[in-house]
Amino acid sequence: MLSSHNGGAASTTVVPNLACNLCGSREATVVGTRSRSGAALRSVCCVHCGLVWADPRPVESRRFYEHDYRVAYKGTFAPRPKHVLRAGRVALSRWAHVQPLLQQRARVLDVGSGGGEFAYLLQARGHEVRGVEPNRGYAEFSAAQYGLAVQRGFIDEVALPADHFDLVTVWHVLEHTDDPAQVLLRLRAALRPGGTLVVEVPNIEATCQSPASTFHEAHVYSFSAATLRRTAEKTGLQVDRLTLSADGGNLTALLRRPLAPSEAPATLHIAGEHDRIVALLRGHRPWRHLMTVHPYRRLAGRLMRALHERWQTRRKLAPRALLDRLYGKAPAPPQRLPLWPLLLVASAVAVALEWLMLDRQDAVLTPVQGTLAYVALDAGLVAAVAWVARDQLATLRRQALAVWGLAVVALPAYC
């Protein structure tokens, strides 16, 4: 079957294994054949609404999320301090989206709570938070580290109370689910009438990433602003706001459960969306991407982030202490003076004293008086250094300081 859907360029229409999750159609065109890792992954775009999905479904996703997700993403099961810090900073940016909705103590559900950084931020701000997380490593870590209530399981399986939550957040989860429309329906039912659902997904229209990185095995569905909006409307949610991140990479939707049931949209088809998405994906070419500012800004951003993370995690803080400091819960530790430069300066002062007191005192002091004065001043110097650096002296350093002090005070013995 051949049909024209791309401004004159012929696209082959295929019958996908899965019907479109938004409009139910079984007519799509192929828009990708490789994942970002280079593995075979067919991605299709619905001819009638423009929704994009991986077809056939790429992996046995359940087992992957339950056990392997963290390993596949980060190479470890226990998050390293830099990952906690990174996720904490993301949590703060997410907080900016939800803060206006949280004027009073609220009941919040965080779906796909991951390492727990965002849920912990909400809890630290006084809200009643529950997390849902399928990965065992994440769930156990966040419960143990932050004292969070985390229900382990997939969002389409866990039991949720009806009409309960003031706010439900779903950060980068919907694109991983087998049935996004069904997930939104479940979450809508868990919201109290008038409650808000915040959904963030990667934007299929984004061109800030390399074209080779557009499709990912773990992303079953890819949304545009229009397909996300229509999916929400289909499930009876009212779209309050739809925003793009600064780089265009993420879509954040504020969806409200209306007080009275809303009418279903007249049609689930979105005119022109398929052609627009296909043209956009085809136009996103490596050479064109290299001529934009994005790859270089991304590289510089990563470099700055790596340096910042290295600096911020130079002291071995526990994850909770790291987040408390980031979230402003614990006061920043007092600025500590670097010990070794301090000792160098103090040594120079000691040598100067020795020169002044022992070599030039002949006219004023006897040798014994000079030595005593030198020892007294130097002992004072050693005590001053120890006092200034008192709260950063690990045992080993204290011994080193003692050796240095003895040497300085005993210097006259060599002269």
Query: Which parts of this chain interact with Zn ion (CB under 5 A)?
Result: 20, 22-23, 25, 46, 48-49, 51
Q: Using an 8 Å Cβ cutoff, are 251 and 201 in contact?
A: yes
> In angstroms, what is the minimal distance from the CB of 13 to Zn ion?
13
Residues with Cβ within 8 Å of residue 165, at least 6 apart in sequence: 107, 108, 109, 190, 191, 192, 195
> In angstroms, what is the minimal distance from the CB of 46 to Zn ion?
3
The smaller minimum CB distance to Zn ion, of residues 224 and 252, is found at 224
Let me know if 70 is exposed, middle or buried by CB neighbors in 10 A (0-12, 13-18, 19+).
buried
Whole-number CA gyration radius for the chain: 31
The smaller minimum CB distance to Zn ion, of residues 23 and 409, is found at 23
The smaller minimum CB distance to Zn ion, of residues 277 and 317, is found at 277
3-state SS of the chain: helix, strand, coil percent to 5? 45, 20, 35
Sheet arrangement for strand 250-256: 149-152, 128-133, 107-111, 165-171, 191-202, 250-256, 238-244
The smaller minimum CB distance to Zn ion, of residues 46 and 170, is found at 46
> In angstroms, what is the minimal distance from the CB of 111 to Zn ion?
24
The smaller minimum CB distance to Zn ion, of residues 43 and 123, is found at 43
Residues with Cβ within 8 Å of residue 103, at least 6 apart in sequence: none
> In angstroms, what is the minimal distance from the CB of 30 to Zn ion?
15
> In angstroms, what is the minimal distance from the CB of 58 to Zn ion?
19
The smaller minimum CB distance to Zn ion, of residues 11 and 123, is found at 11
> Got the DSSP string for 226-295?
HHHHHHHHHTT-EEEEEEE-TTS-EEEEEEE--SSPPPPPS-S--TTHHHHHHHHHHH--HHHHHTSSHH
Beta-bridge partner residues of 130: 109, 149
> In angstroms, what is the minimal distance from the CB of 183 to Zn ion?
17
Q: Read off the tokens for 381.
A: 């110097």
Residues with Cβ within 8 Å of residue 379, at least 6 apart in sequence: 405, 409
Output DSSP code: residue 31: E
The smaller minimum CB distance to Zn ion, of residues 246 and 266, is found at 266
The smaller minimum CB distance to Zn ion, of residues 223 and 374, is found at 223
What is the CB-side half-sphere exposure of residue 90 using CA atoms within 13 A? 18
Q: Read off the tokens for 228.
A: 């996300």
> In angstroms, what is the minimal distance from the CB of 235 to Zn ion?
15
The smaller minimum CB distance to Zn ion, of residues 216 and 274, is found at 274
> In angstroms, what is the minimal distance from the CB of 27 to Zn ion?
8
Q: Read off the tokens for 180.
A: 């996004």
The smaller minimum CB distance to Zn ion, of residues 22 and 401, is found at 22
Query: Checking DSSP bridges between strand 52-54 and strand 221-222, what pairing results, if any?
Result: antiparallel
> In angstroms, what is the minimal distance from the CB of 216 to Zn ion?
21
Strands (E), 317-410: none
Preceding peptide of 338 cis, ω within 30°: no
Q: How far apart are CA 21 and CA 46, in angstroms?
A: 9
> In angstroms, what is the minimal distance from the CB of 54 to Zn ion?
15
